[in-house]
Amino acid sequence: MPRLLHLDASARRASFSRALSAAFAEEWRAAGGEVTYRDLAADPVPPIGQAWTELCDHVLRHAITDIGRYGEAVRTPEQAAAWAVLRPLLEEVVAADVVLIGTPMYNFSIPAALKAWIDQITFPRMSLAGRRFVVASARGGAYGPGAPREPYDHQERYLRDFFAGHFGIDDAVFVSTELTNSLVDPALDHLRGEHTASRDAAEVAIRHLARELTREGRHRVSAPEPRHEVSQ
């Protein structure tokens, strides 16, 4: 059965990115897929600390590229405490066929809650190849191709570069709802129609994508690949 890791990072309980990621998860479940959910805003992942950097240095120094061997880096009580935070986060990612991230754009980039999760699970030369990443995003303005603010988009650009550069994932899919601020900013009131069109198109696209990836996941699960187990 295909497995989805569903993450939300918006500080708003009723947000457009949450609605979009929920639509994906709904279709995934309806098609028979399993879902693991983590709310990064309601239950924040702590920032990395000194002990985490020591784990990272050990992994790098000993050229450990197998995620299942990361636990070998634990040598002190402080490192054990850092590993206790990190291990379940890694297990969730390793177990997933698809990682779904619901995130708003904050100040041209991503929320601190999402960045903290990324920092925790990322080690040198690690690969998550074979998994798919989907980002369901919401932006207050318009940042798509040709928009005046396109150069300020450090949300999608950062995540694409990061997924490719660190995880070996160069086919991440982004589905965005734009111009959400038109609903609250009188200066953008004339753009509400464009926001509605963007929102509706994004929901159609995300639901179609969920059904497509669930079918793809079922096909892959029928001939399973070996999975890493994250050791103690």
**Order of all β-strands in the sheet with 132-138:** 34-39, 3-8, 98-104, 132-138, 173-177
pLDDT of residue 1: 86
Instruction: Tell whether 76 is covered by a domain.
Output: no
Tell me the two tokens of residue 113: 């809650």
CATH number at residue 126: 3.40.50.360
Confidence class for position 232, pLDDT limits 50, 70, 90:
very low
Residues that constitute the known binding site: 10, 15-17, 105-108
| Domain presence at residue 31 | yes
Q: Is residue 79, in this structure, part of any structural domain at all?
A: no
DSSP string, 61-88: HTT---GGGGGGG--SHHHHHHHHHHHH
pLDDT of 178: 96
Other CB atoms within a 10 A radius of the CB of residue 103 amount to 28
Residue 122 has pLDDT above 60, yes or no: yes
Q: What is the mean pLDDT of residues 181-190?
A: 95
Range of the domain at 33: 3-46+96-221
Residue 88 domain flag? no
Say yes or no to pLDDT of 220 above 80. Answer: no
Does residue 175 lie in a domain region?
yes
Q: How confident is the model at residue 218 (pLDDT cuts 50, 70, 90)?
A: low
Percent of the chain with pLDDT over 70: 93
Residue 129, classified by CB atoms within 10 Å of its CB into exposed (0-12), middle (13-18) or buried (19+), is: exposed
Looking at the domain assignment, is residue 111 inside a domain? yes
Q: Which residues are annotated as a binding site for FMN?
A: 10, 15-17, 105-108
Nearest residue to 8 (alpha-carbon basis) of 89, 115, 129, 103? 103
> 112-121 vs 77-95: helix axis angle to the nearest 10?
100
Segment 41-86, tens digit of pLDDT = 999 999 999 999 999 999 999 999 999 999 999 999 999 999 999 9
Q: Bridge partners of 173? A: 134
Q: How many domains does the chain have?
A: 1
User: Is residue 110, in this structure, part of any structural domain at all?
Assistant: yes
The whole-number pLDDT of residue 219 equals 53
* 54 falls within a domain: no
